Structure 1
Amino acid sequence: MATLRATRHADAFTGRHVLSMGDYHPRDLDLLFRTADETRSDLASGRDHRPLAGRLLMSAFFDKSTRTRLAHETAMIRLGGTVAGFADATVTRAGGTTQESDDDIARMVSLYGDVVVVRHPETGWPAHAASLSEAAMVINGGDGVGEHPTQTMVDLYTMHRRFGGLDGLRILILNDLRMRCVRSLLLGLRHFDCTVYGLSASGKDAAALPEGVPPIHTGRDLDSLLSEVDIVYSSPTVAAERPEDSLDRVTLNRDLLRRHSGHDITVMHPLPRKGEVDTDLDDTRFAGYWEQADNGVPVRMALLRLMFGC
């Protein structure tokens, strides 16, 4: 604990917005991971550690969410803080006949809360909301096809715990390579010695990826890749607008992995799933996605602790 507190004055989190994985380096992620380990230990032991008593987290979700909103809110409550806000913009004055602007709502919630978690269908909008905030810190909870930094923090922490580190990992990304979770994941992996393969569904190849991310190796068949990689990371394909877009979507199941994987490959998925991961994997050694979901709270608890410098 003393070591963490001694280093936090110079970290990338204290008093800062969380908008992009491009803002973080290995030393920052190491600090986050150590704080998450400490937080998990507190939770497991039942220690009542409530450093954010009196602080308020505002949820401003202009787009739907399950895990992101609930994990941030649970994290704040477990740290002793409180939560308010909305999970559906139509219950605010942004809906109905009033049509209050999203900008005005963003300014208002930033006046009320100490930290605001924003999800918005428009790419780049959380950064815009941060520019409107006078005091509250803003967390990007997912913006269009832009980024989802806290999801990637959870993903990287899960890989770190499962494999003891990130260097040397071989990762296959499947299905929709355009998704924000993929963009953030690649930004998070850019400082580590990982090999990244890609296999996309029809019309869902990676496009306009951020600069500096690891190259995605394509052109390999699924069967041979499954025999080599450590992690299969499937993105959601819920954004498909036409049935034909998902006809060649890869569905991971127990039989496929047992036939082609000679080792304990880990399947990860940020959820929600829509046919990418069969339920017959749920209780097998391959399943890593429930661990991801479980890590969502301690990682965000760690993030909030760091943001508030405690």
Structure 2
Amino acid sequence: MLTRNKPYHLLSAHDLSREDLSDIGERSRYYRERVRTRAIPQMLVGRIVATLFFQPSTRTRLSFEAATQRLGGTCVGFSDPNVTKAGGEWRESMADTARVLNGYADAVVIRHNEVGAVDLHAQESAIPVINGGDGRGIRAEHPTQALIDLLSMEDDFGAIDGLKILIVGHVNQRCVHSLLIFLTKFLDVSVFLLTDDDEHLSDAEERELRSHGLTFQYVAALEDAIRRVDVIYVIGTKSPCEVAGKLVLRPEILQRSAPHVRIYHPLPRGIELPTEVDASRKAAYFRQVANGVPVRMAILERLLNGSHQGL
């Protein structure tokens, strides 16, 4: 695993090579089968993973805790910073929180509302740090969600190379940032972005993606791209109950897509993904979310059991 500093952290999609992505995918499938058969190696017995969630979470927090316990480990942590002195009125520094956690746990998963807060924690951490989502906007990331997205697409299409992907919603979100960075590591991927005018990627992010060879363009309507894509990746907006009509994947528009198209969404959803779509054979988002536990089992194995490159 390529990381910025030791101990080995997962802070950004930049931290992983294409070979790393392949290895994580392989181990995720291994653990998915092991969970199905209940024959799971207990490699984290005696290990503690701390989950520090300064923002609300359902899937990320619970799947990391489930992954830890599936592997025989235990969890400590919080889901409301106001009940701790790490958040709320005390606002203990991330550096001090890291120094404390060094003596309490073997790894830490952090979600934070500020971009860069997880990196600040990692600078003082003697244990692996995993970014469970930090902030919103420029440089915000959610690398483990993007790993789930890649595994789900590979399950359905066999490979990421050559895919045509339409992303619908507010693309200036952390899960999209990490996914786009990962997509630069594959060949002949084309991305179409449908978003509000004030939700475009920053100029710096666009230049970086293009410098790494990713082909992408903004489109004005679903009809402009839906007939020529393989993947429709729907995401939410800042106001889940107030979504521009052009960002809603209505069933009648979905009918215009190719039969092989698959729809993904990191969840939770708002009105951008109507429940009527659930009955479509193209809907893949609940299979996608089920991949959260095996993917995070594979990540914990790599960080805590030394099964990554360079160690």
2:132 is equivalent to residue 141 of structure 1: yes
Amino acid at match of 1:22: H
Counterpart residue number, 2:230: 230
Per the normalisation by structure 1, the TM-score is 0.89
Counterpart residue number, 1:273: 269
Q: Distance in 1 between matches of 2:241 and 2:289?
A: 28
Asked if structure 2 preserves the Cα contact closer than 8 Å seen for 1:202 and 1:249, the reply is no
What is the CA distance between 1:91 and its match in structure 2? 0.6
Q: Distance in 2 between matches of 1:24 and 1:46?
A: 29
Q: Distance in 1 between matches of 2:23 and 2:86?
A: 39
Counterpart residue number, 1:305: 301
2:42 is equivalent to residue 50 of structure 1: yes
What is the CA distance between 1:284 and its match in structure 2? 2.0
Q: Distance in 1 between matches of 2:198 and 2:89?
A: 38
Counterpart residue number, 2:292: 296
Counterpart residue number, 2:116: 124
Asked if structure 2 preserves the Cα contact closer than 8 Å seen for 1:32 and 1:302, the reply is yes
The change in CA–CA distance for 1:110 and 1:215 in structure 2 (over 3 A counts) is farther
The change in CA–CA distance for 1:106 and 1:182 in structure 2 (over 3 A counts) is same
Asked if structure 2 preserves the Cα contact closer than 8 Å seen for 1:201 and 1:248, the reply is no
Q: Distance in 2 between matches of 1:18 and 1:298?
A: 16
SS of the aligned residue for 1:293 comes to: helix
Q: Distance in 2 between matches of 1:95 and 1:21?
A: 26
Of stretches 170-179 and 35-44 in structure 1, the one that deviates more from structure 2 is: 35-44
Amino acid at match of 1:292: Q
What is the CA distance between 1:98 and its match in structure 2? 4.5
1:205-229 CA-to-partner distances (Å, cap 9, x unmatched) read 2224262352321245421411110
What is the CA distance between 1:286 and its match in structure 2? 1.4
2:260 is equivalent to residue 264 of structure 1: yes
What is the CA distance between 1:34 and its match in structure 2? 0.8
2:65 is equivalent to residue 69 of structure 1: no
Amino acid at match of 2:48: L
Counterpart residue number, 2:172: 178
What is the CA distance between 1:111 and its match in structure 2? 2.4
1:127-161 CA-to-partner distances (Å, cap 9, x unmatched) read 1100011x211000011021000001111111111
What is the CA distance between 1:29 and its match in structure 2? 0.5
Q: Distance in 2 between matches of 1:174 and 1:29?
A: 24
Amino acid at match of 2:101: V
Counterpart among 244, 249, 257 of residue 247 in structure 1: 244
Per the normalisation by structure 2, the TM-score is 0.89
Q: Any stretches of 5+ residues in structure 2 without a counterpart?
A: none
Counterpart residue number, 1:5: none
Q: Distance in 1 between matches of 2:174 and 2:50?
A: 22
The change in CA–CA distance for 1:251 and 1:241 in structure 2 (over 3 A counts) is closer
2:198 is equivalent to residue 206 of structure 1: no
The change in CA–CA distance for 1:97 and 1:261 in structure 2 (over 3 A counts) is closer
2:142 is equivalent to residue 153 of structure 1: no
Q: Distance in 1 between matches of 2:83 and 2:94?
A: 13
The change in CA–CA distance for 1:254 and 1:247 in structure 2 (over 3 A counts) is closer
Asked if structure 1 preserves the Cα contact closer than 8 Å seen for 2:232 and 2:261, the reply is yes
Asked if structure 2 preserves the Cα contact closer than 8 Å seen for 1:158 and 1:291, the reply is yes
Q: How does 1:89-108 map to 2 (within 5 A)?
A: 89-94=81-86, 98-108=90-100
The change in CA–CA distance for 1:229 and 1:102 in structure 2 (over 3 A counts) is same
Counterpart residue number, 2:191: 196
Q: Any stretches of 5+ residues in structure 1 without a counterpart?
A: 1-10
The change in CA–CA distance for 1:99 and 1:151 in structure 2 (over 3 A counts) is closer
SS of the aligned residue for 1:282 comes to: helix
Counterpart residue number, 1:162: 156
Amino acid at match of 1:47: A
2:281 is equivalent to residue 285 of structure 1: yes
Cα RMSD after superposing both structures: 2.1
1:82-111 CA-to-partner distances (Å, cap 9, x unmatched) read 000101100102456645444423332232
1:225-256 CA-to-partner distances (Å, cap 9, x unmatched) read 1111000111221x24995xx33451113222
The change in CA–CA distance for 1:15 and 1:118 in structure 2 (over 3 A counts) is same
